[in-house]
């Protein structure tokens, strides 16, 4: 079955990245314990999600409120997002108004403070479950200054288990001698449902983070064990390669453990991660997260990312 581009490679992400700490955000990394509380309240056509988060650096504390209203009779969805970091967002979506399977949307974002910023996004998403999908949107500042307007496009083509998809974001008017593309991603993926596995080749580029290419695989071993691996390389420096492999083990319907090993050739670092999920009751779940550097065990010298620890409590999830 075809899917939207953001859903490609999802099985590998669920095993190797979901719930693990984000190690690329330097501002929130530290040796302290990260703590998160999530509450999902649902009532008829209304949903309220609240999130409170203390980063492992011991300093940053954030809160988010995300209300959502669904008017099924008119195929309209209204979403909001309010953050204590002075960021605000609202989205209005209209389903099946252009053609069946399409969603037309407009999103407004605002940041207030020392450097206020207002942006507007509008576009359309289309999904044909048999053949593929298309996503198009325009990202513009509220001033509609052409030098800051960006276009985003994504597509997926699907046929008998094979998917090819890509996305790109670029400036409409780029400065002279500068590439207009700020980021792009691409996947060639095959899902073999009868053997319960998914394999993919991918390429990723971000103007700030650089380019990486690689391979990922996901495999269901049995009813209790699944596994995944990912190997990525910087095409301009083969010595800069990353390997991640891990799995998921279900002890019972209440407890799941996900171990992960990450190997970074550039820094010569090996990290061990664990995610333990425990269902406490019908309304509450508890998640423990760790990501530990083995450098101290082998008495290696160098600058390594500190150990990360996290606890998440979610209600009505």
Residue 1's pLDDT band, with cuts at 50, 70 and 90, is: confident
Report how far residue 247's alpha carbon sits from residue 15's, in angstroms, rounded to the nearest whole number: 6
258 and 275 in contact (C-beta within 8 Å)? Answer: yes
- In this prediction, residue 148 has a pLDDT band, given cuts at 50, 70 and 90, of confident
pLDDT, tens digit, for every residue of 83-130? 999 999 999 999 988 888 999 999 999 998 888 899 999 999 999 999
Q: Calculate mean pLDDT across residues 203-231.
A: 94
Q: How far apart are CA 314 and CA 40, in angstroms?
A: 8
* Nearest-angstrom CA–CA distance, 248 and 222: 11
Q: How far apart are CA 216 and CA 198, in angstroms?
A: 8
Minimum mean pLDDT range among 75-79, 240-244, 299-303:
299-303
pLDDT (0 to 100) of residue 300: 65
What CA–CA distance (Å, rounded) separates 174 from 128? 33
Tokens in use for 196?
């319960």
Per-residue model confidence (pLDDT) at position 302:
67
Mean pLDDT of all residues in the chain?
91
Indicate if the alpha-carbon torsion angle 57, 60, 63, 64 is positive or negative: negative
Q: Confidence band (pLDDT; 50, 70, 90) for 63?
A: very high
* Global pTM value: 0.88
Confidence of residue 18 (pLDDT cuts 50, 70, 90): very high
What are 257-309's pLDDT values in tens digits?
999 999 998 888 899 999 999 999 989 999 999 999 888 666 666 677 888 89
The pLDDT value recorded for residue 301 is 67
**What is the predicted pLDDT for the residue at 89?**
97
Structural domains in the chain, sorted by start: 5-315 (2.40.160.10)
> Which residue from 203, 240, 191, 199 is spatially nearest to 216, judged by alpha carbons?
199
Please answer whether residues 313 and 285 qualify as being in contact, where contact means their C-beta atoms are separated by less than 8 angstroms. yes
What length is written for the chain? 317
- What's the helix, strand, coil split of the chain in %, to 5? 5, 60, 30
Inter-residue contact 156 to 4 (CB < 8 Å): yes
């Amino acid at each position: 079955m075809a899917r939207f581009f953001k859903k490609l490679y999802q099985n590998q992400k669920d095993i190797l990245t979901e719930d693990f700490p984000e190690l690329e955000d330097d501002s929130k990394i530290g040796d302290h314990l990260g703590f998160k509380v999530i509450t999902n309240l649902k009532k008829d056509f209304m949903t309220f999600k609240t999130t409170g988060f203390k980063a492992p650096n011991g300093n940053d504390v954030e809160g988010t409120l995300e209300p959502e209203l669904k008017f099924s009779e008119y195929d309209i969805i209204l979403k909001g997002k309010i953050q204590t970091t002075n960021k605000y967002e609202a989205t209005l979506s209209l389903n099946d108004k252009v053609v069946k399977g399409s969603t037309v949307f407009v999103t407004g974002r605002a940041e207030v403070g020392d450097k206020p910023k207002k942006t507007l996004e509008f576009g359309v998403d289309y999904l044909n479950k048999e053949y593929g999908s298309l996503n198009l949107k325009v990202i513009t500042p509220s001033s509609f200054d052409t030098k800051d307007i960006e276009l985003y496009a994504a597509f997926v083509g699907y046929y008998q288990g094979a998917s090819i998809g890509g996305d790109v974001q670029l400036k409409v008017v780029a400065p002279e001698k500068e590439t207009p593309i700020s980021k792009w991603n691409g996947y060639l993926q095959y899902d073999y449902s009868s053997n319960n596995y998914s394999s993919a080749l991918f390429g990723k580029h971000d103007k700030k983070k650089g380019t990486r290419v690689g391979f990922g695989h996901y495999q269901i071993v049995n009813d209790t064990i699944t596994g995944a691996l990912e190997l990525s390389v910087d095409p301009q420096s083969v010595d800069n390669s990353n390997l991640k492999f891990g799995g998921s083990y279900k002890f019972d319907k209440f407890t799941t453990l996900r171990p992960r090993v990450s190997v970074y050739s550039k820094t010569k670092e090996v990290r061990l991660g664990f995610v333990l999920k425990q269902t406490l009751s019908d309304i509450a779940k508890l998640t423990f997260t760790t990501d530990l550097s083995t450098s101290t065990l082998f008495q290696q010298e160098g600058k390594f990312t500190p150990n990360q620890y996290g606890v998440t409590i979610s209600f009505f999830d």
